[in-house]
Amino acid sequence: MIGDAAPTPAPARAGRRVASHRGAPEAAWYPVCRAVRKGGPRRVMLHGHALTVDQPGTMPELTDADAEDWQATAALGMVWVRRVAGMEQATAPPLPAEDLEPDMVRVCYSRVRVATDYDQAVLGLVDPAHVPMVHNSWWWRSDPVRKVKTKQYTPSPFGFTAVSCDAFASAPVYDLVGQDRSVSIEFRLPSARVEYVRSKGFRLCNLTTVTPEADGRIALRNLIFCNQPLLVPAQPVLSWLGRRFLSQDAVILETLDSEADTGSPLFAGPPDQPSLWYYACKRALLKAQGTGAAFDNPVEPSILRWRT
Ligand SMILES: [Fe+2]
């Protein structure tokens, strides 16, 4: 990988080690299971706690003895939970559901559990350079020739958003949408990657999340929503493809975890700038939650360029 940054206010310095605030913020929403009405109680894990989710009506309920320490809600066909004990007033990033347009229906749901570090998994959502090394399915990447890619990053609520500046598309599957498409990829704390694809009459939202089930164990989820209900019957096939995609990340994450040392992560070059922003945003969120102040987004508008 190479990286030659266009002018940017806050370039990543080569070989920079970052003292990170490791781990998952607790006063933030994470998906824990699918929302199923009248499906009976289900056991889920979050932050190392076993929780029981019941859903007798439209909204899920937690039925454990310490249920008042937690809050549950339903959105995007999922149950989301956050810890509230001692943090009732803490600012929590809004759910991605608030951005979803009402005519979009779910066409894909995939989940893969991984034995890995939480932060390492979230870095996998924001790292643009891992794609050619990890996601090598024919329908995702058919051209082995590396190209220079340029993306414009801007701060967005509780994170940052990237818009591609290149005319070419990375993945053949995008060609199905048409050449006039626009693609933006948002990262939102605590651990959501939200990709929007828009073309003439076509809109798609591709959501990937990381849930910290326990120390060293996470769940990767991928949900795709689209304004084309004709794709709903294809959900089993699309979900199978989604699991294959997530499994490619899982293999790398478990390999990295087994070879990890205990030092601070090392970041170098423009492709790692989003990883630095992730840690900076998380520090800003924890500071805001600790002081009661508004979230002060540390991301500066930037253009990043690398070979992919
Ligand atoms: Fe990936």
Domain map of the chain by residue range? 16-25+97-307, 28-89
Q: What is the pLDDT along the chain (308 residues), one digit of tens a residue?
A: 333 333 344 444 445 544 457 899 999 999 999 998 777 899 999 999 999 999 888 889 998 888 889 999 999 999 999 998 877 777 889 998 766 888 899 999 999 999 999 999 999 999 877 776 677 666 555 566 677 788 899 999 999 999 876 655 556 566 666 667 788 999 999 999 999 988 888 889 999 999 999 999 999 999 999 999 999 999 999 999 999 999 999 998 888 776 665 556 666 677 789 999 999 999 999 999 888 889 999 999 999 887 77
Ligand 1 geometric centre to CA of 249 (Å): 5
Q: Which residues are found with C-beta within 5 Å of the ion, ligand 1?
A: 249
Q: Which fold has domain 16-25+97-307?
A: Naphthalene 1,2-dioxygenase Alpha Subunit; Chain A, domain 1 (3.90.380)
Q: Tell me how far the alpha carbon of residue 242 is from its chain's centroid.
A: 14
**Residue type at 202?**
F
Q: Rounded to the nearest whole angstrom, what is the distance from the C-alpha of residue 222 to the centroid of ligand 1? A: 11
**Crossing angle for the helix pair 118-126 and 235-258, nearest 10 degrees?**
120
Output the pLDDT for position 9: 40
Q: How far is the CA of 248 from the centre of ligand 1 (A)?
A: 7
The identity of residue 130, as a single letter, is H
Ligand 1 midpoint to CA 90 (Å): 31
pLDDT digit string, tens, across residues 6-21 = 334 444 444 554 445 7
Distance 173 CA to ligand 1 centre (A): 16
The pLDDT, as a whole number, for residue 127 is 83
243: CA distance to ligand 1 center in Å? Answer: 12
| pLDDT computed for residue 13 by the predictor | 43
- Domain 28-89 fold: N-terminal domain of TfIIb (2.20.25)
Q: CA–CA separation, 273 vs 128, rounded Å?
A: 10
Note the pLDDT of residue 173: 60
